[in-house]
Homo-oligomer: A and B are copies of this chain.
């Protein structure tokens, strides 16, 4: 293991964890697993964390290539599960052809997705009650909660304007 930078001596080594710096967290996660910290992986990570909104594997490929033109689709698809597993990105499946992803920065409560079926725009909204809901429902059925998903499909303002006269 590498020694921490000087600043680390100021406090009693705060066991970096996931919080500090996502990029370091990723590198740590990798090496902790015996996985290698490679250029494509970092390019993909950086591309993902540059994104503030939802992105697809394809989006990620394009952006990764701005940093490392050699990155291939295969590597992107192989990296996504790793990023999801270490909790740095989240998969957002809205039931369309391709899956979406987004970074997990600043998300403490459960999020539902508001999706426009026309333009496929996704808005994340807090749905705190879901924390209770899923657990309760699962237990009531003798099951063990894994994850949940709450999606509301609704035409967005813009698309309502454009198609005003369709109904």
Contact residues of A with B, CB < 8 Å?
93, 95, 112, 114, 116-117, 123, 125, 133-134, 137-138, 141-157, 160
Do residues B141 and A160 form an inter-chain contact, with CB atoms below 8 A? no
Do residues A152 and B145 form an inter-chain contact, with CB atoms below 8 A? yes
A116: min CB distance to chain B, Å: 7
Q: List 19 A-B contacts (CB under 8 A).
A: A93-B95, A112-B137, A114-B138, A116-B143, A125-B137, A134-B154, A138-B152, A138-B154, A141-B156, A143-B154, A143-B156, A146-B153, A146-B154, A148-B150, A148-B152, A149-B150, A149-B152, A149-B153, A150-B150
- Choice from B112, B137, B151, B152 contacting A114 with Cβ under 8 Å: B137
A2: min CB distance to chain B, Å: 32
Do residues B95 and A149 form an inter-chain contact, with CB atoms below 8 A? yes
A125: min CB distance to chain B, Å: 6
A145 contacts across to B, CB distance below 8 A:
152-154
Q: With A95-B93, A149-B149, A151-B149 given, is the CB distance from A160 to B137 under 8 Å?
A: no
